[in-house]
Amino acid sequence: LSWICAMCKKMLFKINQSRLSAEVQSLKNPQSLSPSPRLEELREENARLKYRLNILKRSLEEERTHCTKSMMNINQRLQEIFGEAIRASCPDLDNPPLAVTPNQQPKFGDYQCNSAMAMAQMLKTQGVKANPREIAQKIIQNLPDNELIQKTEIAGPGFINIHLKRMFVSKLLTNLLINGVQPPPLASRKKVVVDFSSPNIAKEMHVGHLRSTIIGDSMCRLFEFLGYDVLRLNHVGDWGTQFGMLIAHLQDKFPDYLTVSPPIGDLQAFYKESKKRFDEEEDFKRRAYQCVVRLQSKEPDFIKAWNLICDVSRKEFQKVYDCLDIQIIERGESYYQDMMTEAVKEFEERGLVQQDEGRKIVFAPGQPIPLTVVKSDGGYTYDTSDLAALRQRLFEEKADVIIYVTDSGQGTHFQVVFAAAQMIGWYDPQVTRVEHAGFGVVLGEDKKKFKTRSGDTVRLMDLLEEGLKRSMDKLKDKERDKVLTPEELIKAQRAVAFGCIKYADLSHNRINDYVFSFDKMLDDRGNTAAYLLYAFTRIRSIARLANIDEATLRKAAETTEVLLDHEKEWKLGKCILRFPEILQKILDDLLLHTLCDYLYELATTFTEFYDNCYCVEKDRQTGEVVKVNMWRMLLCEATAAIMAKGFDILGLKPVQRM
């Protein structure tokens, strides 16, 4: 609607400028002094256009009023305002650049528009000489009436410094306190599929699965909070030739498996035993291949054996998911078996399949390697499985966004799969977002791939149990066991252990490798979950220690103006309200460390505020509360509300007492 209003104004101006100037010229002619029918016609048209423009403006205001419960994205609103001014100041410039960012030096303003210099450069390429400062001045002159800008200033070669209205910021904080942390309204509720975790059946989940599980879950939480329809999928490796040797070994070791559930305690050892036999015993290998054929033919006894093996794995996976509070729907490779045939057939019918030494391959445009869709023995591959899965998610799930969270080593594979899907016309990347969110590997403190001392891959469950042990040691070092009840201590232990493991991963740019160190992640100084969880607990305790209950705070939110006169109050208020901007950035680039950096900035900004602004004043001798600055208590409450929602997106569980 903002854009439509701007276009209407522009159209109104151009139409009437040309027609009225012609009419004025005719009126200057002394021969023409009688009333002009054309002038009356123009006046009527002008009135109609103004009427339509006013309706659009009212609709825009109604839309904003309707969305008052939602948090405003201040940066986005400033971009709307400056976008309109930029178009009005240079109407002949196609797609003029729009750059509005938080000001890095608060003394010069709260936000900054840096478009003037880039616009001058664009005009220069068109042979038009323009001074960036003059363009900046034109932009300021064309700023529409708005609710949030106090003043603007031009600095340097053409930067526009923007100062926000303190009263407006105060109102936004009041809205947050009354309505809670509400996401900005969605234009439409899109369907999002996130493919993450994806361990292999009959193998232990190891540290390599940690990143996919944590990052994927946090992405889902973000999309869910913003109002999207999210489908969390676990594309487990539950099909393939390895199941032949597992079933053959199961038949030998537990011949009555059809009637008595086999006591497979250690599936990893069971897998290693079957693999050893497969490599050393020719007869066993032959039987294993026969078992694969019979499994693929879906013979009931073999399907039951397969299900038994899968169930043992699922129970082990669930232990990890319960610790990390992960909700996920299993859809393994077996789910797409019948769909693979259809996917290959579609490529063949379109003439996109080539023969290569008995294999069937597909070359996608611009890709250096082909996809192998059928092996020389007639079997399918990971390529076929991923094509079939993508096809199902596009056409049956009708997904608008599909995200694959796997290690960066699979980047090329997904690039080729996506290119093939676009080539055959399954989706248009301008309409549907299909993306691989790759991540680096977990390193040990020796900067090498994280392994046990014996060189084995670290079991994920062992890692989580070690985290529990270390977090309890940390809590006891701080003598929290003397203050907390046994139940509170266990809650704090789990919050710190699993929160620290998650945060250590998410606080690093997912594209990079990161060093796993319990000592660093449990340190309660710096950008760690331990520091943030303790900071959050302290903020929550301020009201409790001042004997202010939730009902009092709720009433105060409705009746007390949030004053922002002190520079630290102003700084904290603005920081709190940047939350929607942060979420929008993550939505665009899927880099969750931005949220971690923001929460750390919010916590440190709060500390500055608390050290400089008395929230509760006590008698130095008796310790009794003598004065409560309620507007500052509300700033404490707003900070805690944002931190709690940030923790929820990251999958952290703060506790009231630590």
pLDDT at 6: 52
Q: What residues contact residue 489 under an 8 Å CB cut-off, 6+ apart?
A: 472, 475, 480, 481
Number of H helices, E strands in the chain: 23, 16
- Write down the domain spans for the chain: 71-164, 241-325, 460-650
With contact defined as beta carbons under 8 Å apart, do 187 and 621 qualify?
A: no
DSSP 199: P
Structure tokens belonging to residue 5: 């209003």
Exposed e or buried b per residue across 410-446, where buried means at least 16 C-beta atoms within 10 angstroms of its C-beta: eeebbbbbbbbbbbbebbeeeebebebbbbbbbbeee
Say how far residue 476 (Cα) sits from the centre of its chain: 35
> What pLDDT is recorded for position 64?
53
- Of the options 3.30.1360.70, 3.40.50.970, 3.30.1490.20, 3.20.20.210, the CATH number for the domain spanning 71-164: 3.30.1360.70
- Whether residue 534 contacts residue 523, with contact meaning beta carbons closer than 8 Å, is answered with no
pLDDT for 65? 46
- The per-residue b/e assignment along 537-556, b for 16 or more CB within 10 angstroms, e otherwise, is bbbbebbeebebeeeebeeb
- Could you tell me which residues are beta bridge partners of residue 193? 231, 402
What are the CA-CA distances from residue 92 to residues 114, 126, 292, 341, 492 (Å)? 19, 11, 68, 54, 61
How many other C-beta atoms lie within 10 A of the C-beta of residue 525?
Answer: 8
DSSP string, 608-635: HHHHHS-SEEE-TTT--EEEE-HHHHHH
Is residue 403 a contact partner of residue 194, using CB atoms and an 8 Å limit?
yes
Element (H, E) at 539: helix 529-545
DSSP at 560: -
Give mean pLDDT in consecutive 10-residue pieces for the chain, a chain of 658 residues. 52 54 57 62 77 66 60 95 95 92 92 96 90 96 95 96 97 96 90 96 88 98 98 94 91 86 77 93 93 90 91 92 97 94 97 95 95 91 96 98 97 97 98 97 89 79 95 94 93 95 96 93 93 95 91 95 97 98 97 98 98 90 88 97 98 85
CATH assignment, 460-650: 1.10.730.10
Looking at residue 242, what is its pLDDT? 87
What are phi and psi for residue 129, nearest 5 degrees? -80, 130
Query: What pLDDT does residue 335 have?
Result: 95
* Rounded CA separation 486/71 (Å): 39
DSSP 8-state code for residue 158: T
**pLDDT reported for residue 262:** 76
